[in-house]
Amino acid sequence: MEKRIQLEKRGRDPEEIFDLNLDNCRSTSIVGLSDEFTNLNVLSLINVGLTSLKGFPKLPNLRKLELSDNRISGGLNLLHTSPKLTHLNLSGNKIKDLDTLEPLKEFKNLKNLDLFNNEATCVDNYREKVFSLIPSLKYLDGFDKEDREAEDSEAEEDEVNGNDSDDEEDLDEDDDDLDEEDLGLDAVYKEHLEEESEGEDYEHDGDVDEDEDVEDDDELDLGEEEEEGEEEDGEEESTPRGKKRKHEDGEGN
């Protein structure tokens, strides 16, 4: 068990570990698990071969303890060092009578207890006696006092993690606020698009006017070129005429 603990630590300090899984590591008692795991919330020791809880450390923040499929027959008083325990699974052990469960009545936060596949479950009026013994108990072997099945695993995990319905209501309110903000953004975005579309129409009209102006400018340019061409033709014609006259005058002389 000590080697397995070192492996699960992965170089972390004990107080940094919140969930520790030691399933299937073979040991008849608790070895290597110290009081240094002060923040441990969940501890799993399934199918380890434990015959007792001797050496169980002080774990002040432990809420869920898995001890199923071992050979534990007593010594539940050794769990008193974990007063915040809410879930305890002892199914598949060697608990023969209800007197062995007496120490559990001191747990004020214990909500879920599993004793399935223990001889103690064969005692007459077993369920009524256990619920009477542990006043805080809500579920026994997966069912409440009225034989209604326990909530799903997610709900149980919420209880272990300390979550409650108020947190869920807060989340719902936050979601509503986000939805309203999204609707507001959609409206602003839509209005912005409409303004852009109007602007585009206006710019389009301007483009048409510019095209017309360009056509007018082209016509003016063509007119000017024609006039320049006529002037050039006039100059060309005037020069030869001048030369001819001069030549005629010369002949006359």
The predicted pLDDT at position 193 comes to 57
Asked if the model's pLDDT at residue 241 lies above 50, the reply is no
Asked if the model's pLDDT at residue 167 lies above 50, the reply is no
Confidence of residue 150 (pLDDT cuts 50, 70, 90): confident
Asked if the model's pLDDT at residue 253 lies above 50, the reply is no
Q: HEC string of 205-227?
A: HHHHHHHHHHHHHHHHHHHHHHH
Mean pLDDT confidence for 174-196? 55
Give 60-79 pLDDT, tens digit per residue. Answer: 999 999 999 999 999 999 99
In this structure, of 44-48, 133-137, 245-249, the range with the lowest mean pLDDT score is 245-249
Q: Return mean pLDDT, the chain.
A: 77
Mean pLDDT confidence for 123-151? 94
Confidence of residue 228 (pLDDT cuts 50, 70, 90): low
Report the relative pairing of strands 42-44 and 112-114 from DSSP bridges.
unpaired
Q: Are 71 and 51 in contact (CB under 8 A)?
A: yes
The predicted pLDDT at position 250 comes to 46
The predicted pLDDT at position 244 comes to 45
The predicted pLDDT at position 151 comes to 74
Asked if the model's pLDDT at residue 89 lies above 50, the reply is yes
Question: Among residues of the chain, what percentage have pLDDT more than 70?
Answer: 60
Asked if the model's pLDDT at residue 51 lies above 80, the reply is yes
3-state secondary structure of 236: helix
Mean pLDDT confidence for 207-229? 51
Round to whole Å and give the CA distance between 59 and 41.
8
- Using CA of residue 242, residue 244, residue 250, residue 253, what is the dihedral sign? negative
Of 100, 105, 102, 57, the residue nearest 82 (C-alpha):
57
Identify the DSSP state of 150: P
